[in-house]
Amino acid sequence: MTQQLNREDCLRALIIKTAEMDRLPKKSDFDEYEAARIKAFFGPWPRALEAAGLIVPKVEEREAKKLEKRIDAKRKKTEAQKKH
């Protein structure tokens, strides 16, 4: 029987696999048991990659885009006021 993987083991496996392959790991890069355990802890594969710090969480990405959009709007408004 294979040793049961805990949450930390799963995160470590994702990080190690990324370093070994020099790219983000896919589910198919793991055996069936490992992939199932990783998904059991983190849900969809992108969430597992986020939890391991391998990709930026979508929420953070959206917030950064929103902030950038607000800054651009303020910059344009300021430039328009200077012209008048």
For residue range 3-45, list pLDDT tens digits in order.
789 999 999 999 999 999 999 999 999 999 999 999 999 999 9
| Residues 36, 4 within the same domain | yes
Q: How many distinct structural domains can be found in the chain?
A: 2
Contact 33, 2 (CB under 8 A): yes
Range of the domain at 48: 1-53
The more confident residue out of 7 and 58 is 7
| Residues 68, 47 within the same domain | no
Contact 59, 66 (CB under 8 A): no
Distance CA 18, CA 27 (A): 12
| Residue whose entry in the numeric block shows the structure tokens 């048991």 | 33
Please give the pLDDT value at position 2. 54
| Residues 11, 31 within the same domain | yes
Distance CA 47, CA 57 (A): 8
Write down the pTM of the prediction.
0.67
| Residues 45, 7 within the same domain | yes
| Residues 1, 42 within the same domain | yes
Residue 1 has pLDDT above 50, yes or no: no
Which one-letter amino acid corresponds to residue 83? Answer: K
